[in-house]
Structure 1
Amino acid sequence: MKSLSKTMSEIMKQQNFEPAYRQMMSQVLKDPEIAAFLKKNAQNLSPQAIDRGEAKLYEYYHEKQLVSKGTATVAPGYSPQLVINAGQIDVTYVPTKKLIEQQHQAHIKRLVSSINMPKFIRNASFDHFYIDDTHQTETRNAALNAALDFVEQYSASDFRPGLYLYGRFGVGKTYLLGAIANEIARQKGVATTMMHFPSFVVEMRNSIKNNNLGQKLDAVKKAPILVLDDIGADAMTTWARDDILGVILEYRMQEELPTFFSSNFSMAELQDHLAVNVRGDSEPVKASRLMERIKFLSREYEMAGANLREKG
């Protein structure tokens, strides 16, 4: 595809075009930004350089008009800028504020990776967490304040425990954790991995067949911030409890990496749940070891209130 300046140069060579061209260039040179550019660089541009640069000046003028009208340009998302290149007038294209913001928002969204998580977490925010008179409760407010405090105080060099949110279905536990992840990405530029733990266990079991279990487990356990959603929702095999959950928690405790949990169980109830495997065997010591790690990595907050999913 020919550049606009090259096309203009070819048109200029056509017969009987000179008067119309000169009239058009007179209009171009009266443009305030072009006039200011030429004045600013008067000592750096010879008359010959200005003559040779007329096509570039027109390109800048034309593209600027398209941008102001919201019309498609030669470089969508970029605006023209006049520069001096080796003593000659040239046009470069720089990202618009709109494009920069779009790229920034896309980068933020990439920082929050999810594994089998609901779509609503993508746009979860503290601003949309229900705290109106109808739905707010003392426990939900306490959890929100703890979440806000974590984001404000977070530093990669200073370990802070995450939150262990528990309560019945639909009280906003997962949404609040999603809001934390999105806000950490926006304010701190830190990546969070969120995963629905029961589904993750199934995925890990399937990974054995593909011989990539270790790679996936490493990626999760080393995440700068990790959210384990719906922990305790299903009865666990000894393998899932000790070789998956146990490995993740042990690594994160040793490395002091913030970890968040959501569950229908309180910590005390989760310990009883983890003590019994799918075969009905009781293993309280192993459950206690896991809970020691969960208690190190997080602080417990109950969330009670109406089912927000019914609110819709």
Structure 2
Amino acid sequence: MESLGQVLKQMKGPSFMKRSQAIFDELLSDPIVKELREEHPELDEAKLRTNLPRLYQYVNDRRNCGNCPGLEKCPNDFQGHYSKLETAALNGQLELVERKAPCSLQIAKQNEDQIRKRIRSFYVDERALQEGYNEVEIMGKDRHRAPAVNQVFRYIREVKEHGLTPRGLYLFGSFGTGKTFLMSYMLHELAIAGYTGVIVYMPEFMEDLKSMIQDNQKLKDTVEVMKNCDLLIFDDLGAENLSPWVRDHVLGAILNFRMNRKPTFYTSNYDFGGLEKHLSFTSKDGEEMHKGQRLMDRISPFVDVVHLHGENQRRSQA
């Protein structure tokens, strides 16, 4: 919609004055302006007349908001915002002051943007983090998942009520039962509460670490992020190809730093016994049981085990 300046721009002399008065009379009879005057009875016609451009903008914005086409198609001059009029005493005179206020959709977007800034993902499908979450759907999708889902819900609730502890969760189960989805949901919910989080897809992370050997600063920065975030999730632990260096000097260093400090979370297809065997074997050195046990000593005492039963959701969707 055109601004008042654009409407009057082409007019001069008597035409300008006549059109300006017609617009003012129309605005005075508008329910939006009548409501404004009820809220601010100190506003007389003379004061409104001297603030005609602001009044025109205010009414246009309110009309646009009343027929909101969505944030992306917002027709207001300042997208996602509307004009708000207030009175103030300036230099002993009553003045009509305009400010731009964010609408509810803009506020929701800003809040969501702040939540996303608290979450970092390494190699995880962004759809797992960006799709909407519905607790009823999460619980009702597969009744076999209910005990595990309840345990994750309980963890989220306890953190919101009492704060973080160094204890995390070890979520294991067969393929496609929703382990990554549940951990992403937990990350999103706790990001809303102000916590920072990182989720790492282990198979691709381990492959990428090979190239980081040549970029020491990138490796250092990545490890520091994982050490210091509030919540760290290692997704699909056990599906990666381990090297002794990665296991002992990268994964081991991260876990050694976080234990007794901050919670670490895991999803895996292995139970603890299977994971220990996996961590004990590398393609270079073969089986080294004591190395696997050493890493498990940094995992098992600091997590509650959650066995996720259920159907393969990927197969059923396909």
Q: TM-score range, shorter-chain basis? A: 0.7 to 0.9
The percentage of aligned residue pairs carrying the same residue is: 24
* d(CA) in 2 for partners of 1:25, 1:176: 57
Contact 2:166 2:259 in 1 (8 A): no
Residues 5, 20 of structure 1: CA spacing in aligned structure 2 closer, same or farther, 3 A cutoff?
A: closer
Shift of 1:297: 2.5
Contact 1:84 1:90 in 2 (8 A): yes
1:84 equivalent in alignment to 2:83: no
- Aligned ranges for residues 166-245 of structure 1 at < 5 Å? 166-186=172-192, 188-212=193-217, 213-245=219-251
What RMSD in Å do the two structures reach over aligned CA positions? 2.6
Gaps of 5+ in 1: none
Contact 1:165 1:300 in 2 (8 A): yes
Shift of 1:305: 3.0
- Aligned ranges for residues 4-23 of structure 1 at < 5 Å? 4=3, 6-7=5-6, 14-23=13-22
TM-score using structure 2 length: 0.84
1:118 equivalent in alignment to 2:125: yes
* d(CA) in 1 for partners of 2:20, 2:139: 63
Residues 127, 39 of structure 1: CA spacing in aligned structure 2 closer, same or farther, 3 A cutoff?
A: closer
Contact 2:8 2:19 in 1 (8 A): no
Q: Structure 1, residues 12-69: CA drift from partner, whole Å, max 9, x if none?
A: 75323433432321121223442344455455x6875443212322222233233333
Count of matched residue positions in the alignment of Structure 1 and Structure 2: 303
Shift of 1:154: 0.6
Contact 2:82 2:100 in 1 (8 A): yes
Contact 1:113 1:194 in 2 (8 A): yes
Q: Please name the residue that 2:102 is paired with.
A: 95
Shift of 1:218: 0.5
Gaps of 5+ in 2: 69-73
* d(CA) in 2 for partners of 1:273, 1:62: 65
Shift of 1:94: 0.8
1:25 equivalent in alignment to 2:34: no
Contact 1:232 1:274 in 2 (8 A): yes
Q: Please name the residue that 2:271 is paired with.
A: 266
Q: Please name the residue that 1:61 is paired with.
A: 59
Letter in 1 for 2:80: G
Residues 90, 286 of structure 1: CA spacing in aligned structure 2 closer, same or farther, 3 A cutoff?
A: same
TM-score using structure 1 length: 0.86
Letter in 2 for 1:101: A
* d(CA) in 2 for partners of 1:14, 1:207: 73
Contact 1:267 1:300 in 2 (8 A): no
